[in-house]
Amino acid sequence: MAQRDKHADGMWKARAIGVSALLLSVSIGPSLAQQKMDVGKHFDVFNQFCPAAMAGEAALREVLPGPGPFGEKVWSASPDETWVTYQSGIDDVLIIGSFRRGTALEMRECMVQQITSDAPSVDDLEAAFLERVPKGDGISISGGKVEEQIPPVGAFASTPPDFRNDRREYMVEGALPVPNAIFVGSMGQGNFRIFSFVQVLAE
């Protein structure tokens, strides 16, 4: 990995931030109403579905039967039925995940995410996350601020060498009722997601 020129250049940074904001508007789509980023709602949706997902497909189907609130199918399976996925939404908050079988182990994942350009600062997102994340005996949290350098390649070629993508990444253990389930919080400008993951013996 090449060392990058460290010369500060505020114009580059401003340009990158501007591009990021524009990207968000393009990526989200012109016809999609912009709702304000709501960290509390993420946790509400997560708590509604993801602990159940960590407990297993049957438990999740009780709280997330198809079709979804917008008529979406929600559940899909591979032809051999060893990979079962779900995808739905509460307003503009996405809920997505899967169950994998086919080995002696079952992998379960569940993610809640909202993408919007109407979001608080990364510092405020992180504060809101840390305020709500489970705490207490038996719960550990790792991670934190990550200053990520964007590779100046292809579509990112105009990214300035001194630009750092400010993201906050956390892994929380012991916060969910299923043993060894991890809870991850990942956030950046205009982007917030929390997800959980566990591996259990196949039933």
Partner 1 sequence: MTEQLALRTGLAAGLICLNTLSAPAQSIDAAALWDRYMATCAGLLTDLQGTVSALEPLTPNSEGGVSEDGMFFIYESGDEDGLVGDHIYLGRHGGTATVYCDVFDTQIGGGEFAQTAAALREVMEERTGQAASGGALTRFAPPDTGLRIYGGHQDWAGFSVSGAFERADVVTMGEVVRQGYGGVSAVSASLTFYAIVPDNG
Which parts of 12-31 interact with partner 1 (CB under 8 A)? 19, 22-24, 26-29, 31
Is residue 115 at the binding interface for partner 1, with CB under 8 A as the rule? yes
Q: Which of 59, 96, 130, 133 binds partner 1 (CB under 8 A)?
A: 96
∠ at Cα 12 (10, 13), nearest 5°?
Answer: 65
CB-side neighbour CA atoms (13 Å) of 116: 19
Is residue 123 at the binding interface for partner 1, with CB under 8 A as the rule? no
How far apart are alpha carbons 99 and 68 in whole angstroms? 18
> What minimum distance in Å lies between the beta carbon of 108 and partner 1?
10
Task: Give the nearer residue to partner 1 in terms of CB position, either 10 or 138.
Answer: 138
Task: Give the nearer residue to partner 1 in terms of CB position, either 21 or 47.
Answer: 21
Of the candidates 189, 41, 46, 34, the one whose C-alpha atom is nearest the C-alpha of residue 116 is 34
> What minimum distance in Å lies between the beta carbon of 34 and partner 1?
11
Tell me the per-residue interface mask from 136 to 155 with partner 1, x by CB under 8 A, - otherwise: ----x-xxxxxxxxxx-xxx
> What minimum distance in Å lies between the beta carbon of 11 and partner 1?
18
Other beta carbons within 10 angstroms of residue 7's beta carbon come to: 9
**In the sheet where 83-90 sits, what is the strand order?**
75-77, 83-90, 93-100, 105-115, 191-201, 182-188, 164-173, 140-149
Beta strands per DSSP E along 34-160: 75-77, 83-90, 93-100, 105-115, 140-149
Tell me the per-residue interface mask from 35 to 54 with partner 1, x by CB under 8 A, - otherwise: --------------------
C-alpha of 60 from chain center: 19
Is residue 189 at the binding interface for partner 1, with CB under 8 A as the rule? no
Task: Give the nearer residue to partner 1 in terms of CB position, either 37 or 55.
Answer: 37
